[in-house]
Chain A
Amino acid sequence: MKYMLMMNAMTTGDRYAGVTGWQKEAVQVHIAFLKSLTKSLRESGELVTTEGLAVPDQARIVRAGKDGAVMTDGVFPESKEFLAGYWIVDVTTPERAYEIAAKASAAPGPDGSPLNMPIEVRQIGGPPPEFL
């Protein structure tokens, strides 16, 4: 079963991926932790893919207008949480996906202690078959 683990850690105006205002060393420790998590998932064969996204000021909302015209807008609600990055893992149970999410959650923060940030975990797969 494939699960997507999402860090929705960025907000409007965040200059860096949830780490704006941190000391450089704290950022490096944080990123090294996440990289080593990715490496261990790759070694265990559980990692399908992982990506980190650009900061919110580079985000645009695009809609089709009349006749399919491209309409872009850069204004988001202040409450919006932006996806900072994600992992897709292939695991045999949801519990294993939650375990991996908890590891990501415990990434070190600005003072080196675990952030215990929320990680959204969702199974990959489109609408249930009754819709198709």
Chain B
Amino acid sequence: MKYILMMNTMKLGVDPFPGWSKEDIHNMIKYMIDFNKKLKAAGELLSAEGLSFPEQAKLVRAGKNGEPITDGVFPESKEFLAGYWIVDVATPERAYEIAATASAAPGLRGEPLNIPIEVRPVPSGPPPEIM
């Protein structure tokens, strides 16, 4: 079963690393790189991406003639996706376990962040009952 693990942890205009030292940031990134390596070695990782900061995000709509209108405004409360993993695992519990490992990435002074990770199944197509 495929699951997506999402870190919806970024906000517009909010420093993603408040008060962190350069070393703290390095440690967090190293933790994530090691984590990805382990998932890959276990054959569980299908893909993983990190996204650019929300300041570079655009909200795009089609205009009258289908032309892109790029001046959309995000709601102030919006939590932006910072990155995600797609894993292929046998049970949802294993997906939650992997998510908890990501959640415990080190933050300020190496303390576990325990950030919320949204976990959702990724089906192979739309639900048959609506097709």
Q: Hey, which bits of chain A sit against chain B, CB under 8 A?
A: 4, 6, 16-17, 19, 24, 27-28, 31, 49, 51-56, 58-65, 68-72, 79, 81-83, 88, 94-95, 98-99, 101-103, 105-106, 114, 116-128, 131-132
Inter-subunit contact B96/A119 (CB<8 Å): no
Scan residues 89-120 of chain B and give those whose CB is less than 8 A from a CB of chain A.
92-93, 96-97, 99-101, 103-104, 112, 114-120
Residue in contact with B69 in the complex, picked from A79, A102, A123, A126, CB distance below 8 Å: A102
**Residues of B that sit less than 8 Å from A by CB:** 4-6, 16-17, 25-26, 29, 47, 49-54, 56-63, 66-70, 72, 74-75, 77-78, 80-81, 83, 86, 92-93, 96-97, 99-101, 103-104, 112, 114-123, 125-127, 130-131
- Closest 10 A/B residue pairs (Cβ): A102-B68, A126-B50, A64-B104, A62-B99, A106-B62, A101-B60, A54-B121, A105-B62, A64-B103, A98-B68
Count A-B pairs with CB separation below 8 Å.
173
Interchain CB contact under 8 A, B52 and A16: no
- Do A122 and B51 have beta carbons less than 8 Å apart? yes
**Chain B's interface: helix, strand, loop or mixed, by majority?**
mixed
Contact A70–B96 (Cβ < 8 Å): yes
Q: List 30 A-B contacts (CB under 8 A).
A: A24-B130, A51-B122, A52-B126, A54-B120, A54-B121, A55-B127, A56-B120, A60-B119, A62-B5, A63-B115, A64-B103, A64-B104, A65-B100, A65-B114, A79-B75, A102-B63, A114-B66, A117-B61, A118-B60, A118-B61, A118-B72, A119-B60, A120-B58, A120-B59, A120-B60, A121-B59, A123-B56, A124-B49, A124-B51, A131-B17
When C-beta atoms are compared, the residue in chain B nearest to A102 turns out to be: B68
Query: Which residues of chain B are near A49, meaning CB under 8 Å?
Result: 47
B-chain residues with CB within 8 Å of residue A54 when the two chains form the complex: 120-123
B59–A27 touching, CB < 8 Å:
no
Q: Knowing A71-B100, A118-B72 touch, does A123 contact B52 (C-beta < 8 A)?
A: yes
Q: Evaluate contact between A70 and B100: CB separation under 8 angstroms.
A: yes
Choose among A28, A68, A72, A98 the residue that contacts B104 (Cβ–Cβ < 8 A).
Answer: A68
Question: Shortest beta-carbon distance, B60 to chain A, in Å?
Answer: 4
